[in-house]
């Protein structure tokens, strides 16, 4: 069994839900060395999150953004953490709801998800900037 851990840098994204599967796999050529295993992906930020969902229709990603903005609105009078802008505290809440990590299977040198699944970066800030992920791969090499 082998382990690999690598930092992945994502380009800045606008607020919303973005498919980043290819951006991740391009930076993990080591995946091709594994016949079977798991990839654990962790985001090193508290105002963005990761999830897996529909990878074809952009409507799904827009609906996610609309729903989360309705569920966790900005400018609520009970927010005390407001120094970093009106989108910051809601971003922390959204990030905790969705989560900071994913675990996906590796099969035959590739991440193995459903046909219609993609990995999302959920950017909850208006100006989130570049994001850093840590990918840890564990498995059996070919």
Model confidence pLDDT, tens digit, residues 83-140: 999 999 999 999 999 999 999 999 999 999 999 999 999 999 999 999 999 999 999 9
Predicted structure pTM score: 0.96
Instruction: Please tell me the distance from the alpha carbon of residue 75 to that of residue 121, in angstroms, as a whole number.
Output: 24
Condensed to tens digits (0 to 9), the pLDDT of residues 20-46 reads 999 999 999 999 999 999 999 999 999
The CB density around residue 123, as the number of other CB atoms within 10 Å, is 25
Tell me the domains of the chain and their CATH numbers: 2-141 (2.60.120.460)
**Structure confidence at residue 101 (pLDDT):** 98
d(CA 95, CA 29): 28
């Amino acid at each position: 069994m082998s382990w690999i851990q690598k930092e992945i840098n994502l380009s800045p994204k606008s607020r919303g839900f973005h498919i980043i599967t290819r951006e991740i796999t391009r930076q993990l050529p080591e995946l091709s060395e594994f016949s079977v295993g798991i990839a654990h992906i962790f985001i090193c930020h508290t105002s963005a999150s990761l999830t897996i969902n529909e990878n074809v229709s952009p409507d799904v990603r827009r609906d996610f953004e609309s729903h989360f903005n309705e569920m966790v609105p900005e400018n609520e009078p009970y927010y005390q953490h407001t120094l970093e802008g009106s989108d910051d505290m809601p971003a922390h809440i959204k990030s905790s709801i969705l989560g900071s990590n994913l675990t996906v299977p590796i099969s035959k040198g590739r991440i193995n998800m459903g046909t219609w699944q993609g990995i999302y970066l959920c950017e909850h800030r208006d100006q989130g900037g570049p994001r850093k992920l840590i990918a840890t791969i564990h498995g059996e090499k070919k």
